[in-house]
Structure 1
Amino acid sequence: MTLSLHAFSDGDTAFDVRSAALEDPRPHPTEAALVQLGCALMTELLDLLAETALEDVQTILGESLIGAFHSAAGRIEREADRARDRIRLLEQGFDGSEPADTELQEAIRAARAADVAQAAAELVRDAAAEAYSVGTGEAWTPWRGGRRASALTAAQLDARAAIRAAERRRSAEAPGPVVAFRGSPAAVTEVDANRIFDALNWARGEWPEMALATTGAKGAERLAVRWAQQKGVTLVLARADFDRHGRAAPFRANQELMALAPVCCLTLSRSLDPGQAMSERAFGPALNLAELAHRQAVRCVRIGPKA
């Protein structure tokens, strides 16, 4: 048996223990080192771009860096899935011979190694996303697929995956009581942020185990995403798929939100800032969500100015 070079210590994390258990003669980076890498990569990028001609596109470059590790984690996950498929085939045809046993053990090791590699990529991704949020004030969210929970950021679930989980009632995947939110892209003033946070804090007081469901679009909903990350609230993303649905995408996203069976819908159809509200048209998708909630007898709270 080959022993890992990793020496256990009191400071070992679950990732460190899992990587050491692979019995690979090559040492794995520790979780702390991977987190430091993600933070350093993003911090170096933002520092380099600050006050330069590329500052205008720093959010694009920052999100692309995070997205690269997110994509890598997805590719490694598919490798692990293929290894598990091979394990199932080998188990079905297992004849007890030494060659068959060796082949099965190699497939098992490949699946376990891929799982650890995926976790490593996610650690770097989440650390980079946290540094990105701190450096830019923006909240990164994946455009496709789910996102696992981490110690650094709120757990995030893809809306379709959350719907399937709710249907299956699997407690390990299904979110808690869902509070849906749609808000105007123009509602980004300090007045708007304060009222959005007030509404979300109220909802969390009503449903302490709540999950926040939104599309993650710019403006009010991006502020809500940031609140969820700061509070450690599970975030369910129903991204508007403009490639498939065109102009109807924001309204299709509302249907996904309602399919989550929310206990409450929060809406903000226009900015609450007096200087901006007069020139702004009401945000149609927010009005549409309120209408859907009314039709389905779901409690709906329209966020308004403080009395």
Structure 2
Amino acid sequence: MTSNAPSPLTGPLTAFEAQALTLDDPRPHPPEDALTQLGHCVMTELLDLIADTALEDFQATLAEALIGAFHSAAQRIEREADRARDSLREMLRDLGGPDASAFGISETEDANLQEATVKAHAADIAVLAVETIRNAASQTYTVATGEVWTPWRGGVRASRTSAAMIEARAAIRAAKARRDQGLPPGAQVVAFRAAPRANTAMDNGRVLDALNWALETWPSMVLATTGAEGPEKHAIKWAKGRGLTVVLAKPEFDRFGRSAVFRCNDELLDLEPVCVLTLDHSLDVAREPEPKAFGPAKNLAQKALASGVRALEVRLRG
């Protein structure tokens, strides 16, 4: 009879596999390679199934929903881990603090402490497992389609296969906290906004030139953008390929309506960027014979200049 259980771990252990072995659980965890393969397979199966069918027009929606499902699962498990840690802190506080063992706690209390600790640790490892699947599915999606998945809510922690992506509001709070503590801001934020229609080969080439120049100028560069279609998605793909952190200032249409695409410019500037790059129209005359500036990108450049922030337009050579 064939067993479906994961094969035992052999050879050098990955960081995930080493953590998994620290759990006091007789059941093994899947090897990291198997989790990665699962992510590749589920995305490949989906893309192959809908290719050349009537569902192909909805490929991006279906693929991103699949990746988002794994992302949502990781967040749910992480909340479980947080609840277990909160429970652990409450028990320790009730028992007298971190050194509760010195107070002669009962066997029941000790068992409860151990259970909460194990539960939190197990959930942390489960999160890593699900994130591995998500990252592999996301990577397969990008390789197959050239599109880049970004989370609608929440962030993505940096790993060997994915650059960190965090929400602008979270980054702003962290930056303010660092300033309050007198700590250096560290990362050098470069904000970028572009017209979605500026997505020709000529436009993409000049955007990459500008981003490569920015990274050479500011080696600790963090890319901040709204994640809009076209050049901004192209820029995110560039950043992920170099392991750079991406800060997403996504428009809140439910809250601000049409003005949301302008409101997120304020979030980008609140990040205190060292430079703002904009491309408010396609550089390709064949695409836009009479260029019309994309308002949100032009607005960001104007606000940056008014705030004393260096603002540069992406232009043709010469």
Structure 1 and Structure 2 fold alike (TM over 0.5): yes
**Do the aligned residues in 2 keep the contact of 1:178 with 1:212 (CA within 8 Å)?**
yes
RMSD of equivalent CA atoms: 1.9
**Do the aligned residues in 1 keep the contact of 2:155 with 2:164 (CA within 8 Å)?**
no
**Do the aligned residues in 1 keep the contact of 2:7 with 2:30 (CA within 8 Å)?**
no
**Do the aligned residues in 2 keep the contact of 1:6 with 1:28 (CA within 8 Å)?**
no
Q: What pairs with 1:288-299 in structure 2 (closer than 5 Å)?
A: 288-299=299-310
The whole-number CA distance in structure 2 between the counterparts of 1:301 and 1:280 is 18
The whole-number CA distance in structure 1 between the counterparts of 2:119 and 2:240 is 34
121, 124, 127: which one pairs with 1:115? Answer: 124
Per-residue Cα deviation, 1:77-132 (whole angstroms, up to 9, x for no partner): 11011101100111012261111111011000000011111111111000000000
Cα–Cα, structure 1 residues 21 and 6, in superposed 2: closer, same or farther, change >3 Å?
A: farther
Instruction: Please state whether the residue corresponding to 1:144 is helix, strand or coil.
Output: coil
Superposition deviation, residue 175 in structure 1? 6.6
The whole-number CA distance in structure 1 between the counterparts of 2:244 and 2:121 is 30
Matched, 1:59 2:60: yes
Q: What pairs with 1:27-176 in structure 2 (closer than 5 Å)?
A: 27-94=28-95, 96-169=105-178, 176=187
Cα–Cα, structure 1 residues 207 and 116, in superposed 2: closer, same or farther, change >3 Å?
A: same
The whole-number CA distance in structure 2 between the counterparts of 1:183 and 1:253 is 13
The whole-number CA distance in structure 1 between the counterparts of 2:296 and 2:278 is 9
Superposition deviation, residue 225 in structure 1? 1.0
Letter in 1 for 2:109: A
Q: What pairs with 1:213-232 in structure 2 (closer than 5 Å)?
A: 213-232=224-243
The whole-number CA distance in structure 2 between the counterparts of 1:78 and 1:154 is 22
**Do the aligned residues in 2 keep the contact of 1:192 with 1:273 (CA within 8 Å)?**
yes
Superposition deviation, residue 168 in structure 1? 1.9
Superposition deviation, residue 277 in structure 1? 2.4
**Do the aligned residues in 2 keep the contact of 1:162 with 1:175 (CA within 8 Å)?**
no
Which stretch shifts more, 161-170 or 261-270? 161-170
**Do the aligned residues in 2 keep the contact of 1:193 with 1:220 (CA within 8 Å)?**
yes
Cα–Cα, structure 1 residues 292 and 60, in superposed 2: closer, same or farther, change >3 Å?
A: same
Letter in 1 for 2:224: A
Identity among equivalent positions (%) equals 54
The whole-number CA distance in structure 2 between the counterparts of 1:124 and 1:55 is 23
- Alignment gaps of 5+ in structure 2: 1-5, 96-102
Q: TM-score when scaled to structure 1?
A: 0.94
**Do the aligned residues in 2 keep the contact of 1:6 with 1:20 (CA within 8 Å)?**
no
Superposition deviation, residue 46 in structure 1? 0.6
Matched, 1:301 2:312: yes
179, 194, 210: which one pairs with 2:205? Answer: 194
Superposition deviation, residue 41 in structure 1? 0.5
Superposition deviation, residue 244 in structure 1? 0.8
2:219 aligns with 208
2:99 aligns with none
Tell me the number of residue pairs that the alignment of Structure 1 and Structure 2 aligns. Answer: 302
The whole-number CA distance in structure 2 between the counterparts of 1:74 and 1:251 is 29
Q: TM-score when scaled to structure 2?
A: 0.91
Cα–Cα, structure 1 residues 6 and 33, in superposed 2: closer, same or farther, change >3 Å?
A: closer
The whole-number CA distance in structure 2 between the counterparts of 1:126 and 1:10 is 23
**Do the aligned residues in 1 keep the contact of 2:156 with 2:164 (CA within 8 Å)?**
yes
